[in-house]
């Protein structure tokens, strides 16, 4: 794994999250909060889960010892969710852009939310973060369609590679 690979994934993550955020902006409040059973019970809850995970990992990567899991406490509006998601994924991209490639194989010591201690190489954690977001974006495709949204467009990595990602 190289830093360039993760820079591409981070750029892809921003690109794909921005596409999904555009869909979210078009949703009504009813669609945003509609019960749709998936891993989480609404589009809002699924989006907040992704934001919570991306933000928690960003804090871990920045060696913040006090991780706040947003999902049970964050009460922002739909637009605040969107803004926070864009800010967080941009923060991950910035972290990767400035990350020392020689550190990719170095372990990060961290605690999970339940307090269990882990130590894993940065490259595995970076791969996890971007894969996790991709998994839930895929769920959001189905969920927004079930809510009646018809403007879904591709967030596929292959489509992103055909564009000049920054």
Q: What is the pLDDT of residue 116?
A: 94
Q: What is the pLDDT of residue 165?
A: 64
- Please give the model's pTM, rounded to 2 decimal places: 0.95
Find out whether 81 is annotated in a ligand binding site.
no
Find out whether 63 is annotated in a ligand binding site.
no
Q: What is the pLDDT of residue 6?
A: 97
Domains located in the chain, CATH noted: 3-161 (1.20.120.450)
Closest listed residue to residue 51, CA positions, set 68, 31, 28: 68
Find out whether 49 is annotated in a ligand binding site.
yes
Full pLDDT tens readout for the chain, 166 residues: 899 999 999 999 999 999 999 999 999 999 999 999 899 999 999 999 999 999 999 999 999 988 999 999 999 999 999 999 999 999 999 999 999 999 999 999 999 989 999 999 999 999 999 999 999 999 999 999 999 999 999 999 999 888 876 5
Q: What is the pLDDT of residue 166?
A: 58
Q: Which residues of 125-164 are buried (b: 16+ CB within 10 A; e: fewer)?
A: bbeebbeebbebbebbbebbeebebeeeeebeeeebeeee
Q: What is the pLDDT of residue 26?
A: 98
Tokens 């973060």, located at residue = 129
């Amino acid at each position: 794994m190289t830093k360039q690979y993760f820079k591409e994934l981070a750029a892809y993550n921003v690109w794909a999250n921005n596409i999904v955020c555009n869909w979210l902006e078009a949703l009504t409040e009813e669609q945003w909060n509609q019960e749709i059973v998936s891993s989480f019970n609404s589009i809002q809850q699924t989006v907040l889960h992704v934001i919570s995970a991306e933000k928690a990992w960003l804090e871990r990567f920045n060696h913040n010892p006090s991780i706040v899991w947003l999902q049970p406490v964050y009460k922002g509006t739909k637009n605040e969710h969107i803004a926070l998601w864009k800010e967080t994924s941009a923060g991950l991209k910035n972290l990767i852009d400035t990350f020392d490639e020689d550190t990719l194989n170095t372990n990060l010591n961290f605690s999970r939310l339940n307090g269990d201690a882990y130590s894993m190489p940065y490259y595995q954690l970076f791969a996890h973060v971007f894969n996790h977001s991709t998994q839930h974006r895929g769920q959001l495709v189905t969920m927004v369609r079930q809510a009646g949204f018809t403007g879904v467009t591709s967030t596929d990595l292959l489509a992103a590679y055909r564009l000049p990602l920054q």
